[in-house]
Amino acid sequence: MTPATELASQLAQLPDVTVLTNEPMSVHTSFGIGGAADLLVMPSSIGALATAIKVLASGDVNASYIGNGTNILVRDGGIRGAVVKLSGALTGIRRHGNTLVARAGESLGALCQRCAQEGLSGLEFAAGIPGSVGGAILMNAGANGGEMADVIHWVEGVTANGQIQRCPRDQLEFGYRHSCFQDNEMAIARVAMQLTPADPQQVYRALYETVQKRCRRQPVGQPSAGCIFKHPADDYAGRLLEEADTKGMRVGDAMVSSKHANFIVNVGHATAHDVLQLIEQIQQKVHDKFGIHLESEIRIIGEDA
């Protein structure tokens, strides 16, 4: 029994908390890959999230936070400690004037639809991104010339000792695929977005067009973790990968998509080891051709088998 699983019964007694032990992460990631986590904790309220974090801290158990698991690769040995999953449980959206306040586990898709229903513009760029609101803030997700930093008013997070803290926009250290939450060990709980009134039909139309473009260009029907590499300065990872002839490269059941070279897809029963080996081969091929080292965009967590 690990320190994390020793806390399972204590956590399970908390209201609004679901707890699973030795839970395979392959069923909680869009890649369909990953060994088991000692403990998977799913709070359905912000208060429960704060209390669960305090319990884990009291047992000196490390916590990792995930949403829809769309931009992570969990290694084959799984995760020692606890994974706190927010998507599917910590959900809800409210409107206050031209501001939408969403809990971190809400999906971006649901948020975009709510924008259209309410006649609020500003998140059209995010249409089709499969992640959660919290994950989008963590990585400052962006596409089509926009990013989450453009609309954020404030973010509430939970500190390692279970305190809820509100951070205004100017404290969030947004950058390219970066926010302060990658460094401060806070769990994102709630997000306020400042939007602009618009004709609902125009918002719906823009969302539809963005999704259609994404479907044409990306392998949306296959298990993946989204774009694998960040864009280097003044260039595009996809262009470099395309010109380095990486499409179709394969290790085991991990393969570079034939539709978009910046996606690795799981075409069967790929392991994290397969994906990591393929990433190294791709990086080497691009470096050999262009002298550029591509940096990973996805989060890689857990232990090797």
What span, in angstroms and rounded, lies between the C-alpha atoms of 93 and 285?
44
Tell me, rounded to whole angstroms, the distance of Cα 52 from its chain centroid: 21
Q: Which of 25, 32, 41 is nearest to 88 (CA)?
A: 41
pLDDT tens digits, 208-225: 999 999 999 999 989 999
Question: What's the full length of the chain, in residues?
Answer: 305
Amino acid at 37: A
pLDDT for the residue 88: 86
What span, in angstroms and rounded, lies between the C-alpha atoms of 171 and 174?
8
Count CB atoms within 10 A of the CB of residue 235. 12
Annotate the chain with DSSP letters as a single string.
--HHHHTHHHHHTSTTEEEEEEEEGGGGSTT----EEEEEEEESSHHHHHHHHHHHHHTT--EEEESS--SEEE-TTBEEEEEEE-TTTS--EEEETTEEEEETTSBHHHHHHHHHHHTEES-GGGTT--SBHHHHHHTT-EETTEEGGGTEEEEEEE-TTS-EEEEEGGGS--BTTB-GGGTS-PEEEEEEEE-EE--HHHHHHHHHHHHHHHHHHS-TTS-EEEE-BPPPTTS-HHHHHHHTT-TT-EETTEEE-SS-TTEEEE-SS--HHHHHHHHHHHHHHHHHHHS--PPB-SEEESB--
Write the CA distances from 180 to 83, 157, 177, 185, 275, integer angstroms: 20, 11, 11, 9, 27
pLDDT of 1 higher than 80:
no
pLDDT tens digits, 51-72: 999 999 999 999 999 999 999 9
pLDDT tens digits, 9-20: 999 999 999 999
Reported pTM: 0.94
Q: Which residue pairs, CB below 8 angstroms and at least 24 apart, start in 266-271?
A: 266/31, 266/32, 266/33, 266/222, 266/223, 266/224, 267/222, 270/31, 270/32, 270/33, 271/33, 271/76
Q: Which of 174, 190, 202 is nearest to 96 (CA)?
A: 190
pLDDT tens digits, 2-49: 777 789 999 999 999 999 999 999 999 999 999 999 999 999 999 999
pLDDT of 175 higher than 90:
yes
> What is the average pLDDT across 257-277?
97
Q: For residue 105, what pLDDT band results from cuts at 50, 70 and 90?
A: very high
pLDDT of 144 higher than 90:
no
Q: What domains sit in the chain, N to C, each tagged with a CATH number?
A: 3-85 (3.30.43.10), 93-215 (3.30.465.10), 220-301 (3.90.78.10)
Give the relative orientation of helices 200-217 and 108-118 as an angle to the nearest 10 degrees: 150
> What is the average pLDDT across 75-104?
96
pLDDT for the residue 180: 96
What span, in angstroms and rounded, lies between the C-alpha atoms of 134 and 277?
29
- Mean pLDDT score of the chain: 96
pLDDT for the residue 83: 97
Residue 271 sits at φ, ψ, to 5 deg, of -105, 165
For residue 164, the number of C-alpha atoms closer than 13 Å in the C-beta half-sphere is 14
